[in-house]
C-alpha cells in the first residue's frame, strides 16, 4: 500500500519517528522519471552517479554543475509530484562559501529540486551546509564512503570497520545534524555502525551498502533493474534482469527488418 508522499524535508523526521521506511532510487531523465512517478518509490535522486552510469566515466568527479542541472530539469518534468533530491557535483561547493551558496541556489531555482545533497563533513563543509540551511536550502548530508573524494580516500572501501573509524563517523554525523541536515546518506558503512548511528541521530538515515538498520534505502536505477550485466556489486539487488530482455528485443527487431517482416501492414499508412 502506498504511503503518504514526502512533500517537504520536515516530513522525513516525522517518517522516522513513525517507524516508516523511506525508499529512494536514482533517476536521470524524463523517461525514467515518468516510470518512477507511477511507482511507490518515495524519493528520486539525481545523483552524480550519472557520471559513471550514463556518461561512462571512471568516477563521479567529472560531472559538472550544468550537467546535473540538465538532468534534474528532465526528472522534475517527468515526475512533478515526487520528492526530488539533487546532488551538488564535485567542485561546485568547495571554492568558497559565496560560490557554494550561489551554485546551490541556482540548482534549486533551475530544477525545482526539493533538496540538495552534499558529500563530506570537514569543518569547512559543515559551515557551508549551515549557511545553505540558513539561506533556506534543505540539505541532506552524505557520510561514509564519499565518491567525490574517492581518489584521496584510497578507493571504494567499507567505512567504520575499526573503532576509531566508527567514532569519526559518529562525530561527523552529529556535526551534520547540528548544521541543519534533514537527513543523512550512509554509503558503504559497516552494518552495525550504520544501525547505531541511525539510533543515535534524530534525523533519518538512508543507506546504500550499509545494512538494514538505516531509516531507508537507495539503489541505482540501472543496478536494481539489471541493466548492466557486468556490474553486480554485493550491496545491490536485481529486482529485474532487463539486460537480456532488451538485447533479445533488439535482436528480434534487427531480424525482422532484415527479413522484411517489419513494418507489417498494420504498421504502415496508406492514402
Distance CA 185, CA 143 (A): 6
What are the φ and ψ backbone dihedral angles of 151, each rounded to 5 degrees?
Answer: -65, -40
Q: Which of 64, 70, 21, 23 is nearest to 45 (CA)?
A: 23
CA 161 remoteness from chain centre: 24
Q: What is the pLDDT of residues 52-93, one digit of tens each?
A: 999 999 999 999 999 999 999 999 999 999 999 999 999 999
Q: Which three cell numbers stand for residue 46?
A: 539525481
**The domain that contains 66 carries what CATH number?**
3.20.20.60
Q: How many residues does the chain have?
A: 271
Residues 194 and 205: beta-carbon distance below 8 Å:
yes
Provide the pLDDT for residue 57.
96
Q: Considering the candidates 187, 248, 255, 256, report the single residue annotated as catalytic.
A: 187
Provide the pLDDT for residue 148.
86
Distance CA 229, CA 32 (A): 19
* 257 found inside a domain: no
Q: What is the pLDDT of residues 193-243, one digit of tens each?
A: 999 999 999 999 999 999 999 999 999 999 999 999 888 888 999 999 999
* 210 found inside a domain: yes
* 70 found inside a domain: yes
* 47 found inside a domain: yes
Distance CA 192, CA 83 (A): 29
Cis link prior to 5 (omega < 30° from 0)? no
* 260 found inside a domain: no
Domain that includes residue 89, residue range: 10-224
**Average pLDDT estimate for 130-148:** 96
Q: Which of 91, 101, 97 is nearest to 137 (CA)?
A: 101
What interhelical angle do 191-200 and 163-179 show, nearest 10?
30
Q: How many CA atoms lie within 13 A of 170 on its CB side?
A: 14
Task: Give the number of domains in the chain.
Answer: 1
Confidence at 153, pLDDT banded by 50, 70, 90: low
Confidence at 33, pLDDT banded by 50, 70, 90: very high
Q: How many CA atoms lie within 13 A of 39 on its CB side?
A: 16
**Average pLDDT estimate for 13-35:** 98
**Cα–Cα distance list, 252 to 39, 248, 260, 262 (Å):** 29, 6, 12, 10
**Cα–Cα distance list, 54 to 30, 201, 228 (Å):** 14, 34, 11
Q: What is the overall mean pLDDT for the chain?
A: 96
Distance CA 114, CA 41 (A): 15
190 catalytic? Reply is: no
* 266 found inside a domain: no
* 251 found inside a domain: no
* 61 found inside a domain: yes
Amino acid at each position: 500500500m502506498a504511503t503518504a508522499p514526502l512533500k517537504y524535508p520536515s516530513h522525513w523526521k516525522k517518517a522516522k519517528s513513525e517507524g516508516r521506511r523511506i525508499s529512494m532510487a536514482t533517476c536521470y531523465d524524463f523517461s525514467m522519471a515518468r516510470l518512477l512517478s507511477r511507482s511507490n518509490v518515495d524519493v528520486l535522486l539525481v545523483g552524480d552517479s550519472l557520471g559513471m552510469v550514463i556518461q561512462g566515466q571512471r568516477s563521479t568527479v567529472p560531472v559538472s554543475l550544468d550537467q546535473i542541472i540538465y538532468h534534474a530539469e528532465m526528472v522534475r518534468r517527468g515526475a512533478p509530484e515526487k520528492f526530488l533530491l539533487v546532488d551538488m557535483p564535485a567542485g561546485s561547493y568547495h571554492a568558497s562559501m559565496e560560490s557554494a551558496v550561489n551554485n546551490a541556489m541556482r540548482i534549486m531555482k533551475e530544477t525545482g529540486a526539493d533538496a540538495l545533497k552534499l558529500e563530506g563533513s570537514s569543518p569547512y563543509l559543515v559551515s557551508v551546509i549551515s549557511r545553505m540551511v540558513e539561506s533556506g536550502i534543505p540539505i541532506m548530508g552524505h557520510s561514509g564512503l564519499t565518491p567525490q573524494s574517492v581518489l584521496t580516500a584510497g578507493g571504494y572501501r567499507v567505512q567504520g570497520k575499526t573503532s576509531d573509524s566508527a567514532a569519526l563517523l559518529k562525530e561527523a554525523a552529529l556535526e551534520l545534524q547540528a548544521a541543519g541536515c534533514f537527513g543523512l546518506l550512509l554509503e558503504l558503512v559497516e552494518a552495525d555502525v550504520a544501525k547505531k548511528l541511525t539510533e543515535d541521530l534524530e534525523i533519518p538515515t538512508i543507506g546504500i551498502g550499509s545494512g538494514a538498520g538505516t531509516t531507508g534505502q537507495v539503489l541505482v536505477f540501472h543496478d536494481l533493474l539489471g541493466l548492466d550485466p557486468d556490474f553486480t556489486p554485493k550491496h545491490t539487488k536485481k529486482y529485474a534482469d532487463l539486460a537480456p530482455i532488451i538485447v533479445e528485443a533488439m535482436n528480434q527487431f534487427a531480424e525482422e527488418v532484415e527479413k522484411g517482416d517489419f513494418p507489417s501492414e498494420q504498421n504502415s499508412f496508406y492514402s
